[in-house]
Amino acid sequence: MKAIITGITGQDGSHLADLLLEKNYEVVGVARRCSVDTTQRIKHLSSNNKFKLIEGDISDVSSVINIFKNNDDVDEIYNLAAQSHVATSFKQPALTWDITGKGCMNLLQAMVDLDMDAKFYQASSSEMFGSSYDVNEHGEKYQNEETKLMPNSPYAIAKCAAHHAVRIYRDAYGIHASSGILFNHEGPRRGETFVTQKIVKWIVDFKKWLIESDHDTFPIDTTEDHIVIHKSSFPKLRLGNLKAFRDWGYAGDYVEAMWLMVQQQTPDDYVVCTGTTHTIQDFIDIAFQYAGISEFKKTIVIDPEFYRPCEVDYLRGDCSKAKDKLGWEPKYNLERLVKLMIDAKL
C-alpha cells in the first residue's frame, strides 16, 4: 500500500507516518520549502527506505498535480496540511483560506481531473462547531456529526469549506473521501504556540531555572512580569483566556482513527474525541501539580494579547459513531496526557 501525507512535518503527519510505516506502507510525505529545517518530527524516518520526502505546497494547484502525476499508483491520500493556528488565522485570514480551505479543493479537484481512484482523508476540526452544541437527556452539552457548524474564526471558516467540499466531491464524483472531525489532540510533538505545549514548555524551563539557581523551595519574590531569586529572574507565564473548555486527547491515538476511516468500505464523516472536557485552568492545575509547583497564581500573567477577537467557549465531543463503526476508543485521559507531555520535555 502507498500513501501520500500532506502536512508531514506537523504533529499529526509525523504520527501518521509512524503508524503507516509500522503497517508496512510506502509513505510519501509532502513538505513545503522553508529557509530553515522543519523536519525535526520526522528525523527518525530519514533512513527508512519506505519513506520519501518530497517538496510541495497544497495552495499551488500545479504543485498538487505534479505530486499526483508522479505518484499515480497511490492508494490513500491524507490531507493534514493547514495553517492550523486559530489565533494566527485572525491575523492572516487570506493565507489561512488559501492553505486550509482552497488547498483541500485543489487536492480534490486534481483527483477528479486526473481520474484518480485513491481514497482521501480530510483533517476536519471541532473548531468548525464554534459556538454551536447540542444538549443530551442529562442536560450535558456535546457536539457530534449532526451538530450544526457555526464557525467562529477564519480558520474554522476555511475548515468548514473543506469539510463541505469533501461531502460534495464524495456525492458528485463518487470519491472515497472521509472527514475526521477531530477535537483537540496534543502530545510531545505538539507545536509550542498551542496552549498545552506552551504551558508544558514553561513549566519545564522554569524547573530547570530553579535547579540552575540552586533553589529547591518556591521563590516568593515576584515583580509584575518576573519571578526573582537573588539577582536572577525568570519571565512569568503569559496566557489569555483560561475559561474556555477543550476536549483534549492524545495525537498518537487519533491518527489510528484516521487510518480506520480510510479502511471503511463506505466513506463517511466521524467525530474523534475523548468525551470529557476541561478548562485551560484545569490543564494548568493538573500540570503544575504534577510538576510540583505550588503558588502558581504568582507565576501567571493574564495578557490581553493572547485573547482572540472571537472565542470557542465549549468543546466536548461525542464519538459514539467512531466507537460503533470503527471500533475506535481513546486510550489517554487528560492526566495521562499531561504526564506524557511533561516527562517527554523533561
Q: How far is the CB of 59 from ligand G4F (least distance, A)?
A: 17
| Active-site residue, 311 included | no
Active-site option among 26, 127, 186, 256 = 127
With binding defined as CB under 6 A, does residue 246 bind ligand G4F? yes
Placement of cell 496566557 in the chain: 239
Residue 124 annotated in active site: no
CA angle 183, 144, 264 (to 5 degrees): 85
Q: Which amino acid is at 216?
A: D
Q: What angle do CA 184, 7, 237 make, to 5 degrees?
A: 45
Which of positions 255-274 make contact with ligand G4F (CB under 6 A)? none
Neighbouring CB atoms inside 10 A of 239's CB total 20
Q: Which of 89, 124, 125, 153 is catalytic?
A: 125
Does residue 311 belong to the site contacting ligand G4F (CB under 6 A)?
yes
* 155 noted as active-site residue: yes
Binding span for ligand NAP by CB under 6 A among 20-28, 67-75, 181-189, 225-233? 181-189
Residue 33 beta carbon to ligand NAP: minimum distance, rounded to whole angstroms: 9
Rule CB under 6 A: choose which of 93, 235, 240, 275 binds ligand G4F: 240
Three-state DSSP class for residue 220: coil
Contact 8, 55 (CB under 8 A): no
**C-beta of 304: minimal distance to ligand NAP in Å?**
24
Among 3, 20, 58, 255, binds ligand NAP (CB under 6 A): 58
Cα 2 to Cα 25, 48, 72, 197, distances in angstroms: 5, 14, 10, 32
240 binds, among ligand G4F, ligand NAP, none (CB under 5 to 8 A by kind): ligand G4F
Q: Whose Cβ is closer to ligand NAP: residue 38's or residue 66's?
A: 38
Among 27, 81, 177, 291, binds ligand NAP (CB under 6 A): 81
Residue sitting closest to ligand NAP (CB) = 10
Residue 344 found at the interface with ligand NAP (CB under 6 A) = no
| CA-wise closest residue to 282 among 230, 335, 324, 232 | 335
Of residues 134, 93, 117, the one with CA closest to residue 174: 117
Identify the three-state secondary structure at position 250: strand
**Selection from 96, 84, 89, 88 nearest residue 124 by Cα:** 84
Per the listing, cell 473548555 goes with: 245
DSSP 72: T
- Residue of 3, 4, 5, 7 that binds ligand NAP (CB under 6 A): 7
Q: How far apart are CA 17 and CA 333, in angstroms?
A: 23
Q: What angle do CA 245, 224, 232 make, to 5 degrees?
A: 110
Residue from 143, 153, 178, 184 in contact with ligand NAP (CB under 6 A): 184
Residue 241 binding result from ligand NAP, ligand G4F, none, given CB thresholds of 5 to 8 Å by partner type: ligand G4F
Does residue 130 touch ligand NAP according to CB under 6 A? no
Interface residue with ligand NAP among 3, 4, 10, 166 (CB under 6 A) is 10
In the complex with ligand G4F, the residue whose CB is nearer, 122 or 184, is 184
| Long-range CB contacts (within 8 A, 24+) of 142-146 | 142/275, 142/316, 142/317, 142/318, 143/271, 143/315, 143/316, 143/317, 143/318, 144/271, 144/317, 144/318, 144/319, 144/320, 144/321, 145/181, 145/269, 145/270, 145/271, 145/321
User: Site mask, ligand G4F, residues 162-201, x = CB under 6 A?
Assistant: ---------------------xx--------xxx--x---
Positions in the binding site for ligand G4F (CB under 6 A) = 84, 86-87, 125-127, 183-184, 193-195, 198, 239-241, 244, 246, 280, 306, 308, 311, 315
Positions in the binding site for ligand NAP (CB under 6 A) = 6-13, 30, 32, 34, 38, 57-59, 80-84, 99, 103, 123, 125, 182, 184-185, 191
Active site residues: 125, 127, 155
